[in-house]
Amino acid sequence: MPDKNRTMFRNSYKGLQNTLYCRGRERRGVEMLKKRGATLGFMRSKRKIFLLMLLTLFLVMVPLASAHIGTPVYSSWTTNSPSIEGVISGGEWTDATVVDFTFDMRGTGGGHSEYLTAKFYVKNDANNIYVAIEVFDEDYDAEDGLFLWDGCAIFFEEDNDDVLDDYDNGMEATTFSGSDYYADHDMVHRTWDLDLNYGGNEDGEMAWTHSVMVENAIGDYTFEIRIPLTTSPDGDIFDLAITSLPRKVGFKLWFYDKGTHGVYPDKPTEDINALETEDGATFGDLWLAAPPPPVGGSATRIMIFPNEFNILTSLIQLAPAIIFSTALTFVLGKLKKKKQ
């Protein structure tokens, strides 16, 4: 083969080798990029899994909302125990939490009768819960005859599990002097009967007045109540057994006017209000206050119970939503950065 042809063949062969070499490098580079991409994808997946685990942890930390209905009521701590005589006087209730509400009065067969405006006062110390209930512009009914009298009660669902058991309790008073609940008031959830009828004791106090105590006269009712937090070791199994504060319990206020009934809090979809006194899931949440820490001292556990719904209370109640939204924003931000 002539030298000239040999040189051309050698150059062509080298060019082919270079082309194949470059293509091989390109193919290996693509394979390396694919592997690197798979590795990065796996790492990103791990990050996503980690972020999802973090979000799950935040969700686990968020407390579940109470199953009870209505807005929670926060009792006030007191060193001023009121006199229980059915009259709000002096400054005996000025340190209480006060809730304005309305009784939607309904018959035992359902159907709206009237609205009654009312007030709920509540405070507690280390020994008792103190409650006052005012019902305004209501006629005075205290006669016998097919239960044509008035009455008021507060019932508790103590363990806050939405279920009333035989040992849940409360206080009730009626206006008719011949009624079983005229002189005795300590109730137990055995179809809400006096615990005296089951071998219990009459614990606590309840008294009431009407501003115009003339049959059918329009005026205002005032009911005052003292309920012991615990009656142990000398009490009975039908009483509250609250030994530490703060503490959340279920509660229901009940007012009846002859054949109509009003409750607070009230389940909007229940047409027969009297049935709510037998349904623990329709009770409200009552937070009993703990004593404030001593001046200059420290407390291992502090919870704030304001008399009014202020901004600090708002933040406390919004804490779960704040935690969740913060965690969600963090996760979405991380995912967005990884995509870029």
Q: Which of 38-52, 96-110, 146-160, 183-197 has the lowest mean pLDDT?
A: 38-52
User: Is the confidence at residue 263, as pLDDT, over 70?
Assistant: yes
Instruction: List the structure tokens of 49.
Output: 């899994």
In this prediction, residues 310-327 reach a mean pLDDT of 45
Specify if 302 maps to a domain: no
Specify if 298 maps to a domain: no
In this prediction, residues 190-195 reach a mean pLDDT of 92
* Sequence-separated (6 or more) residues with CB below 8 Å from residue 32: none
pLDDT confidence band for 9 (50 / 70 / 90): very low
pLDDT at 148: 84
pLDDT confidence band for 63 (50 / 70 / 90): very low
User: Angle at the Cα of 81 (from 80 to 87), degrees rounded to 5?
Assistant: 115
Is 282 in the same domain as 242? yes
pLDDT at 43: 45
Is 56 in the same domain as 85? no
Is 161 in the same domain as 272? yes
Is 39 in the same domain as 187? no
pLDDT confidence band for 23 (50 / 70 / 90): low
Is the Cβ–Cβ distance between 258 and 149 less than 8 Å? yes
Is 278 in the same domain as 188? yes
pLDDT confidence band for 18 (50 / 70 / 90): low
Bridge partners for 100 per DSSP: 119
Strands 186-188, 169-174: parallel, antiparallel or unpaired by DSSP? antiparallel
Is 124 in the same domain as 253? yes
* Sequence-separated (6 or more) residues with CB below 8 Å from residue 177: 142
pLDDT at 301: 46
- Please give the model's pTM, rounded to 2 decimal places: 0.71
Is 107 in the same domain as 178? yes
User: Is the confidence at residue 142, as pLDDT, over 50?
Assistant: yes
Is the Cβ–Cβ distance between 257 and 105 less than 8 Å? yes
Is 23 in the same domain as 125? no
Specify if 179 maps to a domain: yes
Bridge partners for 131 per DSSP: 122, 225
CA distances in angstroms from 339 to 43, 47, 329, 336, listed in the order given: 13, 12, 16, 5
Residues of the domain holding 249 = 73-288
pLDDT tens for residues 126-139? Answer: 999 999 999 999 99
pLDDT confidence band for 334 (50 / 70 / 90): low
Is 231 in the same domain as 90? yes
Work out the mean pLDDT of the chain and round it to a whole number: 79
The count of structural domains within the chain is 2
Specify if 83 maps to a domain: yes
**CA distance linking residue 47 with residue 33, whole number of Å:** 20
Is 137 in the same domain as 185? yes
Is 41 in the same domain as 179? no
The CATH code of the domain that includes 251 is: 2.60.40.1190
Specify if 181 maps to a domain: yes
